[in-house]
Structure 1
Amino acid sequence: MAQILDGKSLAQQIQAQLREKIQTLEPQLGRPPGLAVLMVGDNPASAAYVRNKERACDRVGIASFGQHLPTSISQTELTQIIHQLNRDERIDGILVQLPLPDHLDDVALLTEIAPHKDADGLHPTNLGHLVRKEVGLRSCTPAGIMRLLQAYEIDPAGQQAVVLGRSILVGKPMALMLLEADATVTIAHSRSQDLASLTQAADILVVAIGRPGLITPDMVKPGSTIIDVGINRITDDHGQSQLVGDVQYDQVAPLVEAITPVPGGVGPMTVAMLLQNTVWSYCRQHNLLEAFSA
């Protein structure tokens, strides 16, 4: 069987390290780091994600300034809230929980977040830093994946990496981070021809499509590393629901070298990187990035 890349355990280690840093810095700076998560509407999955993030903040000592806003909120009203948070000195990180209701322009809203408070690493300025290999806030899910690979000593250098999905949230920044780590990167998507031939060539396969069981055993290279970003809730014939990934885990795991489980793989690492980005911004605001790196 494959080595299981345990994101839950690694995320707990990262949170413990962040908690220690905050306990050291807060007495010096007079306040804890602050994170504001903005959630619009009543999407059950989004509500669960936000609760998870708030609990994680509590565990490490980050102050939460979250707001649950009505579905009817306008683009102008939400923009004004973001501008207020940009000016609030207690807040180091701002995150707009996606997806948003259809009448709201998420791309426009993300650009309103001050780049130094962009906890999700999705502002054009921060994506530009990534392209240029400059220091900056990194997109949480891809950054979490890179940290997971590092922890398990899986070096992308010289490897063939295939990323399924081209979203700004995962696919595109993931490809850039793998490229930065000296992998040879292919991005595949819904219009790619002969998908199986691409995935079969991958030493590292990152799947971020959102389609349960998309990747079957015949689509993977034996001995490869499989990173499953998909989180899909399905219901069986008995009415029981469960979370599954985009990879047929039980069938694929015996064939590969390493694989992330769902749940417990990429998801916890995404939250850990959100907290890390917030603490990094906190240290940067106080000219203490050396303390963050220590």
Structure 2
Amino acid sequence: MSAKIIDGKKVAAITRDEVREDVEDWLEAGHRPPFLQVILVGNDPASNVYVGAKTRACKEVGIETDTRQLPDTVSAKELKKTIQYYNENSEVDGILVQLPLPSHLSSHDVIEAIDHRKDIDGFHPMNVGRLTVGQPSFRSCTPAGIFELFKYYSIPTKGKHAVVVGASDIVGRPISVMLSKEDAGGKATTTVCHKYTKDLTAHTISADILVVAAGQPNLIRGEMVKEGVVVIDVGINRVADETRKKGYSLVGDCHFESVKEKASWITPVPGGVGPMTVAMLMKNTLLAAKKSIYPE
């Protein structure tokens, strides 16, 4: 068996087209364009790239955006003051603070400072909590994007054994909740593995659906999965590669070549989950503008 490829670029393009059409309808109804405010602390090259990709995607679908760049020496008090300014600005629909932050700043405190009604990343404790108890909320963009992939490719989750490797607040925990809950569309039996899990293979080998978001290149190999498994590789890691002009290659948390020989479906890296994350950010921003989740 050789796995079918889950094309995240294709599905993300379809999602962006849908958002673009919805934005056009929103404008024709007499509303102002949705507005996303990005806050970037410092000058980290990777963060600059990610912010650039997000703001370009906004412009492509008709969402207006602005990036407020702050020095990496900014104090927690000053950063929260900036966030509060945008919380109170009725012209700002969504607020995105690009992570990671400098070490002297607490990402938990900063995320909690964002008005949960403008938290289009879906990271605020209010949104996480509401997701957990089945109430309307902004869903974290990467897990939401994974569910869009399931939907597009008609990959069933009901009654399946889903194993999530990685327990981060951004991906692992929310995707495990969504997979397990009936009202989120999952209806799967879910196991969450992390760095303290003993005998990881004993868990991954039983998975019908395997979501890997551990941030460790080639962690999962072919002998660790069963025939027919659906593999969602969220990892994106740089590994040295002298054959590449840049001197590195991007690989996932799965050893693609060995795992694809046993999987029924698999996401590539890059081009799998990553594009969906940005597309769902656009969708959440439009929902924030419409006040669809938290009506005024």
Q: Is the 8 A contact 2:242 2:248 kept in 1?
A: no
Trace 1:128-147 onto structure 2 (pairs within 5 A).
128-147=129-148
Partner residue of 1:96? 97
Distance 1:167 1:286, change over 3 A: closer
Out of 195, 200, 204, which is 2:200 matched to?
195
Instruction: Give the CA deviation at 1:94.
Output: 0.7
Instruction: Give the CA deviation at 1:234.
Output: 1.5
Instruction: Give the CA deviation at 1:135.
Output: 1.3
For residue 287 of structure 2, give the secondary structure of its aligned residue in structure 1.
helix
Distance 1:238 1:3, change over 3 A: closer
Instruction: Give the CA deviation at 1:287.
Output: 8.9
Distance 1:262 1:111, change over 3 A: same
Could you tell me how far apart the structure 1 residues matched to 2:126 and 2:145 are? 20
Partner residue of 1:206? 211
Could you tell me how far apart the structure 1 residues matched to 2:294 and 2:150 are? 30
Amino acid at match of 1:36: Q
Trace 1:173-252 onto structure 2 (pairs within 5 A).
173-180=174-181, 181-238=186-243, 240-252=247-259
For residue 99 of structure 1, give the secondary structure of its aligned residue in structure 2.
coil
Partner residue of 2:125? 124
Per-residue deviation, residues 81-102 of structure 1 (Å, max 9, x unmatched): 1101111122111111111000
Per-residue deviation, residues 178-227 of structure 1 (Å, max 9, x unmatched): 01111000000000000011100110000001111111111111100000
The alignment covers a number of residue pairs equal to 289
Could you tell me how far apart the structure 2 residues matched to 1:244 and 1:178 are? 25
Could you tell me how far apart the structure 2 residues matched to 1:189 and 1:53 are? 29
Is 1:52 the counterpart of 2:59 in the alignment?
no
Q: Is the 8 A contact 2:117 2:294 kept in 1?
A: no
For residue 162 of structure 2, give the secondary structure of its aligned residue in structure 1.
strand
TM-score under structure 1 normalisation? 0.95
Distance 1:10 1:94, change over 3 A: same
For residue 193 of structure 1, give the secondary structure of its aligned residue in structure 2.
coil
Q: Is the 8 A contact 2:6 2:267 kept in 1?
A: yes
Partner residue of 1:256? 263
Per-residue deviation, residues 147-206 of structure 1 (Å, max 9, x unmatched): 111111111110000001111001100100001111000000000000011100110000
TM-score under structure 2 normalisation? 0.94
For residue 223 of structure 1, give the secondary structure of its aligned residue in structure 2.
coil
Distance 1:17 1:133, change over 3 A: same
For residue 15 of structure 1, give the secondary structure of its aligned residue in structure 2.
helix
Partner residue of 1:281? 288
Q: Is the 8 A contact 2:138 2:293 kept in 1?
A: no
Amino acid at match of 1:127: V
For residue 255 of structure 1, give the secondary structure of its aligned residue in structure 2.
coil
Could you tell me how far apart the structure 2 residues matched to 1:237 and 1:273 are? 34
Distance 1:74 1:7, change over 3 A: same
Q: Is the 8 A contact 2:87 2:118 kept in 1?
A: yes
Could you tell me how far apart the structure 2 residues matched to 1:43 and 1:278 are? 24
Could you tell me how far apart the structure 2 residues matched to 1:94 and 1:217 are? 40
Could you tell me how far apart the structure 2 residues matched to 1:189 and 1:5 are? 25
Distance 1:187 1:5, change over 3 A: same
Could you tell me how far apart the structure 1 residues matched to 2:294 and 2:100 are? 34
Instruction: Give the CA deviation at 1:29.
Output: 3.7
For residue 260 of structure 2, give the secondary structure of its aligned residue in structure 1.
helix
Instruction: Give the CA deviation at 1:27.
Output: 3.7
Instruction: Give the CA deviation at 1:238.
Output: 4.3
Q: Is the 8 A contact 2:230 2:263 kept in 1?
A: yes
Q: Which has the higher helix share?
A: 1
Per-residue deviation, residues 246-272 of structure 1 (Å, max 9, x unmatched): 111112112110000111110010011
For residue 163 of structure 2, give the secondary structure of its aligned residue in structure 1.
strand
Distance 1:253 1:286, change over 3 A: closer
Amino acid at match of 1:70: P
Could you tell me how far apart the structure 2 residues matched to 1:138 and 1:100 are? 21
4+ residue segments displaced more than 2 Å: 27-30, 237-240, 285-289
